[in-house]
Amino acid sequence: MLHVPQLSSDRTFSDALRLELGQFWRSELEPGFQPGEVRVGWTPENLKVQAVLQDRDSYNSVVDFNQPAFLTGDVFEIFLQAPEAEEYYEFHVGPANQLYQLRIPSLECFTKVRQTGIPQEWLIHTETIESSVIQQEDFWTITANIPATLLGISSFAQDQQWKLSFCRYDANRNPDSCILSSTSPFTKVDFHRLDEWKKFLFV
């Protein structure tokens, strides 16, 4: 039987589950890889996420809401899928607290539009995650609360088993590079390999 990590109810991150960003699809870390840690907890009202990312060059030129900032610089990404659901959610936070929010109807739908572009109707405009970013000299810290209501449910609850994945675009300007990492054990570089996202039991 596969071990399912337990996700504790936590308002302060004191007992939050800790996950490390890595490059599981590689035999060894890419040169220039910078580490990051993600903490996850929950309350009935919110999924709580905090990420601390080491970064020698944190930047992103996109400033507008719901623009694909992952094409232009650093981005931290949050993916989640409710139990037994086909739809899933993708949230991006940039180093200046830029937000990008998607509700994706299914992996099949995403595969069909992957090369042509995300339909505008998938963007979530009406409500946003509650996020903040603190930048320091060599790292940045993201804190995000994802309201249950934004996901179309009344609350999070014990014994729910959600699929979660946290990913990163670490862009650098000198030398020019973009290093990808994730908490999910991907066998290929593709953040939408939902069958390789981990399941977490809410306790």
* Per-residue pLDDT tens digits for 90-141: 999 999 999 999 999 999 999 999 989 999 999 999 889 999 999 998 999 9
Count CB atoms within 10 A of the CB of residue 187. Answer: 10
* Whole-number average pLDDT of the chain: 92
SS3 at position 138: coil
Closest CA to 163 of 127, 191, 132: 191
Cα separation, 37 vs 54, whole angstroms? 9
Rounded to 5, what percent of the chain is helix, strand, coil? 10, 45, 45
What is the C-alpha separation between 179 and 150, in angstroms, rounded?
30
DSSP state of 7: E
* pLDDT digit string, tens, across residues 52-73: 999 999 999 999 999 999 989 9
Place of tokens 């959610």: 89
Torsional sign, CA 147, 152, 153, 159:
negative
What is the spatial distance between Cα 144 and Cα 147, in angstroms, rounded to a whole number?
Answer: 10
Q: Is the pLDDT of residue 1 over 50?
A: no
- N-terminal to C-terminal alpha carbon distance within the chain: 19
Least Cα distance to 66 among 91, 96, 95 occurs for 91
Answer whether residue 2 shows pLDDT above 80: no
110 sits in which H/E element: helix 107-113
pLDDT, average across residues 31-41: 95
Selection from 30, 15, 64 nearest residue 168 by Cα: 30
Task: Kindly state the tokens that stand for 151.
Answer: 């996901």
Distance CA 94, CA 92 (A): 7
At residue 137, the pLDDT reads 87
User: Would you say residue 194 has pLDDT above 90?
Assistant: yes
Do 18 and 39 form a contact (C-beta atoms < 8 A)?
A: yes
Position 170 scores a pLDDT of 97
